């Protein structure tokens, strides 16, 4: 499987390293997309594109990659305010798109447990919910894409909450998220439920970027020759 990597930062480099380690052909690597890159004949030999760039670059990148018809796997976060536009464009180009805010299998399992805990919590209104996330200083968006997904899970499951706020005081119907930007932390997410008696916390710590890259490569293997919209449920969900 030959891969087209778009974005050669921390994630692009880790994906390249793992592709080499796993014996896949040398990928075609591009950083910023230009007309010259899009016209490069080497692209046509790529079966899947993997994009990890920047919130501001993702939308243009997606539209250009959709136009090539090559199935796209992307993990770039911070663009979901334009989700409707992107999903409509994907349909128009009739191409393959796999998006996840966190590709690690551990976070997929964490979310399963998180949703179930939230569902149970509706019966125990004495517990107040809050969320915390920590990432490295270079991270551009806050809260993280993963934190937004976890907050959306809570909004789906908790009857008492209707929105979230980040790093500001929350009203009773809001989920407070605290986002920390410190050191070299690859990504930590915590969900807390506190009552007058006790506190329950669940926590996921990424040890490095390797799990994200592994998941993105698995998604790319899954996407070969596929059209349509796919998520981690298609990859890791019970068959
Ligand atoms: N879904 C997941 O599992 C997961 C995991 C980790 C990270 N992420 C997300 O993935 C994205 C990339 O993370 P990273 O750690 O690899 O970031 P990074 O190290 O900062 O690398 C970003 C890359 O994108 C390029 N880029 C920046 N602005 C661009 C633009 N306007 N047009 C095209 N390319 C541009 C950068 O090129 P220059 O060097 O030229 O600026 C660089 O190659 C972020 O959104 C991050 O939140 C997702």
Sort 50 into a burial class: Cβ within 10 Å, 0-12 / 13-18 / 19+: buried
- Mutational test site, ligand 1, from 7, 231, 236, max ligand atoms within 8 Å of CB: 7
> Around 90, how many Cα atoms within 13 Å sit in the side-chain half-sphere?
22
Per-residue pLDDT, 3 = 98
pLDDT in tens, 184-214: 999 999 999 999 999 999 999 999 999 999 9
pLDDT (mean) for 138-156: 95
Give 172 Cα–ligand 1 centroid separation in angstroms: 35
Domain borders along the chain are: 3-103+210-236, 105-205
- Evaluate if residue 239 carries a pLDDT over 90: no
Give 52 Cα–ligand 1 centroid separation in angstroms: 5
Q: What is the rounded CA–CA span in Å between residue 63 and residue 179?
A: 30
Q: What is the rounded CA–CA span in Å between residue 111 and residue 211?
A: 15
Predicted TM-score (pTM) of the model is: 0.92
Give 75 Cα–ligand 1 centroid separation in angstroms: 9
173 flagged as catalytic: no
3-103+210-236 belongs to CATH 3.40.50.720: yes
User: How far is C-alpha 26 from the chain's CA centre?
Assistant: 25
pLDDT in tens, 91-122: 999 999 999 999 999 999 999 999 999 999 99
pLDDT in tens, 3-20: 999 999 999 999 999 999
pLDDT in tens, 16-61: 999 999 999 999 999 989 999 999 999 999 999 999 999 999 999 9
Ligand 1 atom showing the smallest separation from residue 55 Cα: 45
Question: Domain 105-205 maps to which CATH number in 3.40.430.10, 3.20.20.70, 3.30.360.10, 2.30.30.50?
Answer: 3.30.360.10
Task: Strands of the chain (E only): list them.
Answer: 3-6, 28-30, 48-51, 72-74, 96-99, 128-135, 163-166, 174-181, 188-194, 199-205, 228-230
Contact 179, 145 (CB under 8 A): no
């Amino acid at each position: 499987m030959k891969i087209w990597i778009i974005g050669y930062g921390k994630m692009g480099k880790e994906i390249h390293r793992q592709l080499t380690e796993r014996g896949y052909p040398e990928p075609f690597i591009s950083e910023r997309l230009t007309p010259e890159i899009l016209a490069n004949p080497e692209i046509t030999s790529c079966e899947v594109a993997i994009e990890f760039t920047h919130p501001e670059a993702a939308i243009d990148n997606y539209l250009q990659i959709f136009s090539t018809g090559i199935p796209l796997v992307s993990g770039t976060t911070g663009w979901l305010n334009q989700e409707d536009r992107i999903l409509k464009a994907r349909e128009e180009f009739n191409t393959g798109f796999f998006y996840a805010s966190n590709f690690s299998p551990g976070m997929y399992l964490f979310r399963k447990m998180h949703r179930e805990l939230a569902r149970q919590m509706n019966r125990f209104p004495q517990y107040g919910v809050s969320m915390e996330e920590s990432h490295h200083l270079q991270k551009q968006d806050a809260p993280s894409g993963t934190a937004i997904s976890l907050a959306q899970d809570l909004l789906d499951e908790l009857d008492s909450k209707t929105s979230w706020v980040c790093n500001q005081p929350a009203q009773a119907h809001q989920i407070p998220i605290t986002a920390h930007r410190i050191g070299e932390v690859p990504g930590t997410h915590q969900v807390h439920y506190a009552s007058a008696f006790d506190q329950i916390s669940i926590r996921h710590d990424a040890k490095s970027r390797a799990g994200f890259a592994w998941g993105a490569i698995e998604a790319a293997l899954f996407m070969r020759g596929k059209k349509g919209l796919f998520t981690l449920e298609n990859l890791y969900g019970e068959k």
